[in-house]
Amino acid sequence: MAAKSNPRDTSSTNGKTEGLISLIENLNKNASFSEALGFIFKSFAPFVPYNYIGVALVKNGSSSLEASFGISDGTIKGLPEGLMNKQYNLSGTSLENILKTGTVRVINDLKSYVKGRPAKEYNNIILKAGVRSSISLPLSINDKHIGIIFFSSNQKNIYTDEHVKFLKAVASSIAISFDKNIFVNNLLYSSILALAKLAEARDGETGDHIFRIGSYCELICHLLREDSKYKDAITPEYTFNIKRFSPMHDIGKVGVRDAVLLKPGKLTEAEFEEMKQHTIYGAKVLRAAEDNILYESGRSLFGLGIEIAENHHEKWDGTGYPYGKKGEEIPLSARIVAVADVFDALTSKRPYKEPLSFDESLKIIIEGSGSHFDPEIVRVIKQNKDRLFELYNSLKTPS
C-alpha cells in the first residue's frame, strides 16, 4: 500500500541533511544491538513519527522471523512483551514478500488492513496493543536478509511519502549496524558459552543444567514483571539478557584446579576458599572478553553476565561469597540466578546424589526465603507454583 502524501509534512526531511549524516555516523558507534535500537528510537523522531519500534530477525535460513527486540514510548500497551522471542513462519506471507522484494510496506489503517485476511497472531497482538498504522522496512545487505524493522503509531493515516523516503535512505545503514552487532554478539556469546560448557563438563555436569537455568530465570523475570514494583527494572531486554547470560554463572570454574573442583570428599577450609574464587575468575573472564573488542566504546556488553558470575553465590542475609553482600546490595540478576541455580541442582541427578522431587525442592527454596534467597522472588514462585511445575516438567530429561 502506497504512503499518502501530506502537504503539511513535506519539510519533515528537508533541511536535515546534516542531521541525517550524523545519525548514520553515530548509528555504527553503538556497542550492542539493543543500544543501536535505543539510539534509533531516540534519534529518528524528528524524521518519522512512531510510538513503537520493533525488530524481527530472520531465522532458520530465512524461513521464519523472530520478534527479537522492541521499544515503546508507553502508549502502546503489551509491546514488546506480547511478541518477544516468538517465531513466525514466513511462507506465503506479506512479510516474506517484503524481504524478497525489498519493498517498504505502509499500512495506514491496521484495522481495515486485517479485515478479510487470514487471522494472524501477531496482527491480533499489535491491534490489541493499540497500533493503528505502521511502516515495515526490510533490512538486507546485498542478498543477505537481516530482518524487518517496524515503525508503528497509535494514529491512523500518519505516514507519508517523506517518511518512507527517509527510512529508505537509512535502511542500509541500519542493516549494516544490526548485522555487525548480531555478528559480534553471537561470536562473543558462542565463545563464552563454549567456556561455560567446559566449566560444567569439568564439574561433572551434562551441559543441560546451564540451559535449564536460563529457562527458570526467564520464568522468574516474567513473574516479577507482573508485580508493579519490578515493571521498570525487568524489561523484555533485561529478560532476554538474563536468559542469555545466566548459563555463564559458573564460567569461573575453568580457573579452579581439578584437585579442588573434582574432589569427591569435603573440601578443606583452604580448598573451599579456592573454590569461592570461581566467582571472581568468572567476572574476570567476561571483562577480558569484552575488553578485547569494546575498548573503543567504553560500554559493557557483558555487564549482566559479569554481575551474575560475580554475585550468584551471595546470600540475602549476607552470609554468601565472595563479598558478603546482603539484601538489595546483591544485583537483582544474581538474586534471580541464585534461586534458579539451586532449584535446578536440587531437582537434577548428580553422580553423588539422586534428584529431589519438585515439592521437596520447592520446600527447600521456600525455607531459604530471607536467609539464602530474596523473599520477593520466593514469594512470586510460591504464588505461581503451577507455572513453575509446568516448566519443570517440560525441562525434565527423560530417564
Cβ atoms within 10 Å of 19's Cβ, excluding its own: 13
Q: Minimal CA–CA distance to 232: which of 244, 243, 224?
A: 224
Beta strands at 64-72 and 144-153: parallel, antiparallel or unpaired: unpaired
Q: What does the alpha-carbon distance between residue 258 and residue 71 come to, in Å, rounded to a whole number?
A: 46
**Which residues are registered as beta bridge partners of 57?**
66, 147
User: Any idea of the CA torsion for 25, 28, 31, 34, to the nearest 10 degrees?
Assistant: 110
Q: Is 253 a catalytic residue?
A: yes
The number of angstroms, rounded, from the C-alpha of 349 to the middle of its chain's C-alpha atoms is 29
Is 381 within 8 Å of 362 (Cβ atoms)? Answer: yes
Report whether 28 contacts 177 (CB < 8 A).
Answer: yes
The phi, psi pair for 92, rounded to 5°, reads 75, 10
Residue 117 φ then ψ, to 5°: -100, 155
Order across the sheet with 87-89: list the strands: 87-89, 64-72, 52-59, 144-153, 133-141, 105-107
User: Residues 328, 311: contact at Cβ < 8 Å?
Assistant: no
Measured in whole angstroms, the distance separating CA 91 from the mean position of its chain's CA atoms is 26
Residue tagged active-site, from 77, 156, 253, 326: 253
Instruction: Name the one residue in this structure whose C-alpha cell is 484495522.
Output: 111
**Contact status, residue 252 vs residue 288, Cβ threshold 8 Å:** no
- Hey, CA dihedral for 224, 230, 235, 239, is it positive or negative? negative
Catalytic positions, written as ranges: 253
